[in-house]
Structure 1
Amino acid sequence: MGTTFSGFTEKLASKYGDKTAIVFRGEELTYRDLDNFSDRIMLFYLGNGISKGTHVGLLASNSAEWIIHYLALCKIGAVAVLFNTHLTGEELANALNYADVTYLTCGDRAEKAEFKVCLDKINRESAPMLKRIFHIGHELGPLLMSYKEPSELEAEYLRGRKASVDPADPVNLIFTSGTIAKPKGVLTSGYQMLTAAAEAARHMRLGPDTRICSVLPLYHCYGLSVDLLAGLTAGGTIYILEAFRSADVLECIEKNRCTVFNGVTTMFLAMMRHENRMNYKISSLITGTVAGSYVSPNEFMEISRNFSIPHLQMSYGQTEATAGITFSGFDESLESKSHHVGKPIEGTSLRISGAEGLPGISGEIEIKGFNVMKGYYRMKDESEKTFTDDGWMKTGDLGMLDEDGNLHITGRVKELIIRCGENISPVEVEACIRNYPGIEDVKVIGVPAEVIQEKVVACIILKKGWRINEQLLINHMRKHLAQFKIPESIEYFSEFPIGRTGKVNTGELKKMVTGTLAKV
């Protein structure tokens, strides 16, 4: 994939022409449309002072126009700074200033009313570098009707601008999944984005007959790489949904006979438990990935059985590694792949710190390869701490390799609970509790405690209509865990606080539990 985004869209237009690439709200865009319309938007941006290297914010929910504007910016060689649509005004201002954004392109609508309030708070005082805000709509009609072929002079001008862009030039600044109050941005090149997407398409065996139901946010590397760019690389058709709602996703899969659905664990579980789930016919699904957060073997198998996806895959990735790091085998048995996240993609190496190549030893996962960031934007100290002396990137995740070279995730370095000097992996305790009858979901956390450092707390959501005997649950844990790993407290929830990317917000959960325990 040693090409630029311009070469990428031109090649797709030449190969697939009038084949439908994107469907959004019933409107269709062909592969030729994507190339032509992004050229037209490219001319618009160039005429408004944007050029190679300009940092342009993109703040909009999923839409076909988001995709066209994104492609246009990448073709110019501008840096598309992708913003979460849930940001507050203060968070957005902080992120704009940190990312050196001089132009901001916004959608006319978003998932929440706070979106417009957020924009209204952006002014010269809060974002002094911002020169102009552009607004885009969510309807394709005006864009389709206003399109015209570029003149000979415009076409020549475009060719010159495209030729100035190198595959190694940065085209994206994507924020990591954590809080944006003090944002950490990752610069990625066109080469990294397109090569990672091609690897995802290869591992998932996507092709021209592929039909993807895409609801992951495009401002996040998972949705951008594994849904959009991987689908385009393969010549497939991508059905874009603006936001996640279980019924909308199920309807999209049924209506369009979708063959692929990628999602975080909470999405699959929400769809699985939707009251009308069995009324939808979704047997067209062939593959997809469950990623974005830890997935227990039981959850993976439950999802596999419920959706009957014969080639459902586990995957492990990070924003710092252009989304994809590992994929499980396409034809591997579901039972086998439920226990691991697979092997590294081509061009990526992986090792376990302290394991010295030996299987079964847990340590921090470290990686090296084409997909690894050079560092966090404008964060020299933070970047240096992320890399080892010999150039490997520390992921912050704990894992181990089995004898076949498959990676098993065992926890997060930052989420380790330290009790009386002993390190406890929440994932290990959660896996044990999940095997007990009546458990819908569980999150194990550590809260500050005098003398022992941290108290282990199990936060549990019970299945509907279930009650459990806590002593019997503790007895169950004692059969499988050392005594120091047994939670001192069990707290019950109807739901967990969910962060902006669909993962459980551990920080908020800790605040809730700490407040509850303080009242006891």
Structure 2
Amino acid sequence: MSVHWPIIRRLLFRPLAHAVVDDRGPRRGIELLLAALHAASAIERAGSSRTVGVLLPTGAGFPVAALAAWSLGRTVVPLNYLLKRDELEYIITDSGADTVVTAGPMLEFMGYEPSGARLLRLETLDFKSAPEPRLPARAEHDDLAVLLYTSGTSGKPKGVMLSHGNLRANMSQIFRYANFSRHDVMLGVLPQFHSFGMTALTLLPLAAGMKVIYTARFVPQKIVRLLREHRPTFFVGIPSMYGALLSVKDAAPDDFASLRFAVSGGEPLSGAVADEFHQRFGVRIAEGYGLTETSPVTNVCLPEEYRRASVGRALPDIEERIVDPATGRSLPVGSEGEIWIKGPNVMKGYFGLPDETAKALTPDGFLRTGDMGKLDPDGFLYITGRIKEMLIIAGENVFPREIEEVLDRHPAVAASGVVGIPDPVRGELPLAFVELKEGAAFDKPSIIAHCRANLAGYKVPTDVRHLDALPRSPTGKVLRRALKASLA
């Protein structure tokens, strides 16, 4: 069940084919394999820990480093280069990694060198010489493949333990559900320290023999150029990326004509963006859902099964249940409750945190996601919000997403975030923050009037505040907790 062996076999089967194209140019399958052998020897000389940190921009370097670590029987720790220094160094220390594979330009971009481990710069290796031959290690189903850190409720990141079996299962689930073949071409810009960027945009295409195009930075005009040049069939982005692509004035429907699958994930896709993208380019964006703890993909709304605001049906071998979050009792179809997920892609647990693991996983193997949603009679899932972000206004449950959907349809609003503020009479009141479209003027009365025309009275924001840029996570998700903290 080794996650790396299918990739190695595929690269050996087509050694001269261009497996990866990144900002530095194309890479053939044999080049990736030889580079991984060189990197494995360097990692072996550098340290002996079971874990190996990988701190690299989106591109061919990540699969080279990952294959090298797995060939040694070690665990990969993808490192988020956008974190603050103390957070990144905490992860290195907590994971036990004594070696971090990185590159000089990456460290220059960060502006510092993290401490706590030896830094192995890929550009210092002699890739032109013959590498030391070795037989890659084999792993069992439950052996730890990746330690992927995600935000914790205490403020400290938690290491999500994903096994070789978890990753192999999710790769297979995505491949079967989306009916991929080696003739597909992927275009990826999501960072590979992100679970989707790692599994769906790196491991899956390499194992399936699909060519994958990477660019380290999302620049809308460059994405359109790559679409024109490489004619990819699959693109995945976060909602703000699709909104930004609409700003490319010379982009035309033909630029997107090769796409049979454009997926949005990470946060809810605005209906306004989805509609405009479809009207302008003829592409129906498919929403997907998943968590780091599920390796990550659990649901995708296939274009031919499009249902507005749905993230689609569950992938093969995944069981989903909607439950009362207070009692754990299953709720009938159409009822709103917490989403529980079970399947071979669900994590082993949180690294070194048995209590947190017990809270997240039920005795019979379901993951308590903390997300609220509902299933329709055909099994299509609709996400309504996070339990911890739900507002209770005069006894009524209100999720920020519902208000944000309305705000985002205002002609001047590019993106929005809604949080609750205390109120002595109604418990909480919604407060909105908006980021405006380029050249738009901030007109608070107009935005509030728009909300009044489209929302129940108690859901209308008590105030709307303008920010030049909403706070976002490294993957572009609007951080409501940062908006909340700004009020303190």
TM-score, normalised relative to structure 2: 0.90
Per-residue deviation at 1:64? 1.5
Per-residue deviation at 1:397? 0.8
Secondary structure at the residue paired with 1:398? strand
Counterpart position of 2:44: 46
| 1:345 aligned onto 2:345 | no
Structure 1 contact 313–337 (Cα < 8 Å) conserved: no
Per-residue deviation at 1:320? 0.7
The match for 2:377 among 394, 403, 419 is 403
Kindly tell me the number of residue pairs found equivalent between the two proteins: 484
Per-residue deviation at 1:89? 2.4
The match for 2:294 among 321, 333, 357 is 321
Per-residue deviation at 1:478? 4.8
Give the Cα–Cα distance (whole angstroms) in 1 for the partners of residues 337 and 454 of structure 2.
Answer: 21
Give the Cα–Cα distance (whole angstroms) in 2 for the partners of residues 178 and 501 of structure 1.
Answer: 17
Give the Cα–Cα distance (whole angstroms) in 2 for the partners of residues 448 and 77 of structure 1.
Answer: 52
Structure 1 contact 204–330 (Cα < 8 Å) conserved: no
Which contiguous aligned blocks of 4+ residues in structure 1 show a shift greater than 6 angstroms? none
Which amino acid in structure 1 is aligned with residue 25 of structure 2?
Answer: E
Per-residue deviation at 1:92? 1.9
The match for 1:117 among 96, 112, 116 is 112
Structure 1 contact 98–183 (Cα < 8 Å) conserved: no
1:346–1:433 CA distance, 2 compared to 1 (3 A): same
| 1:56 aligned onto 2:52 | yes
Give the Cα–Cα distance (whole angstroms) in 1 for the partners of residues 419 and 4 of structure 2.
Answer: 47
- Measured against aligned partners, the alpha-carbon deviations of 1:46-74 in whole angstroms (never above 9, x if no partner) come to 344447xx111111212312220111112
Counterpart position of 2:217: 243
The match for 1:199 among 173, 176, 198 is 173
Counterpart position of 1:518: none
The share of aligned pairs that are identical, in percent, is 26
187-196 vs 480-489, which moves further: 480-489
1:288–1:231 CA distance, 2 compared to 1 (3 A): farther
Secondary structure at the residue paired with 1:117? coil
Give the Cα–Cα distance (whole angstroms) in 1 for the partners of residues 171 and 280 of structure 2.
Answer: 28
Give the Cα–Cα distance (whole angstroms) in 1 for the partners of residues 173 and 202 of structure 2.
Answer: 13
Structure 2 contact 144–164 (Cα < 8 Å) conserved: yes
| 1:133 aligned onto 2:116 | no
Which amino acid in structure 2 is aligned with residue 117 of structure 1?
Answer: Y
- Measured against aligned partners, the alpha-carbon deviations of 1:338-376 in whole angstroms (never above 9, x if no partner) come to 320011111211011137352221111111111111211
- Measured against aligned partners, the alpha-carbon deviations of 1:131-187 in whole angstroms (never above 9, x if no partner) come to x3211239xxx76523x264xxx4xxx33x624x32321111111256995111101
Counterpart position of 2:137: 162
Structure 1 contact 444–457 (Cα < 8 Å) conserved: yes
Which amino acid in structure 1 is aligned with residue 112 of structure 2?
Answer: V
| 1:80 aligned onto 2:76 | yes
| 1:101 aligned onto 2:76 | no
Give the Cα–Cα distance (whole angstroms) in 2 for the partners of residues 23 and 197 of structure 1.
Answer: 21
- Show the 5 A alignment for 1:143-162: 144-146=127-129, 148=130, 150=132, 154=133, 158-159=134-135, 162=137
Per-residue deviation at 1:465? 5.5
Instruction: Give ranges in structure 1 of 5+ residues lacking alignment.
Output: 516-520
Per-residue deviation at 1:80? 0.8
Structure 2 contact 400–418 (Cα < 8 Å) conserved: yes
Secondary structure at the residue paired with 2:112? helix
Counterpart position of 1:71: 67
Per-residue deviation at 1:32? 3.2
Structure 1 contact 61–111 (Cα < 8 Å) conserved: no
54-63 vs 470-479, which moves further: 470-479
Which amino acid in structure 2 is aligned with residue 322 of structure 1?
Answer: S
Counterpart position of 1:387: 361
Give the Cα–Cα distance (whole angstroms) in 2 for the partners of residues 177 and 251 of structure 1.
Answer: 34
476-485 vs 167-176, which moves further: 476-485
Give the Cα–Cα distance (whole angstroms) in 2 for the partners of residues 361 and 504 of structure 1.
Answer: 27
The match for 1:175 among 121, 139, 149 is 149
1:510–1:467 CA distance, 2 compared to 1 (3 A): same
Give the Cα–Cα distance (whole angstroms) in 1 for the partners of residues 154 and 185 of structure 2.
Answer: 33
376-385 vs 419-428, which moves further: 419-428
Per-residue deviation at 1:508? 2.2
Per-residue deviation at 1:6? 4.2
Counterpart position of 1:216: 190
Counterpart position of 1:296: 270
| 1:189 aligned onto 2:163 | yes
427-436 vs 237-246, which moves further: 427-436
Structure 1 contact 5–190 (Cα < 8 Å) conserved: yes
Counterpart position of 1:487: 461
- The RMSD of aligned alpha carbons is 2.8
| 1:34 aligned onto 2:32 | yes
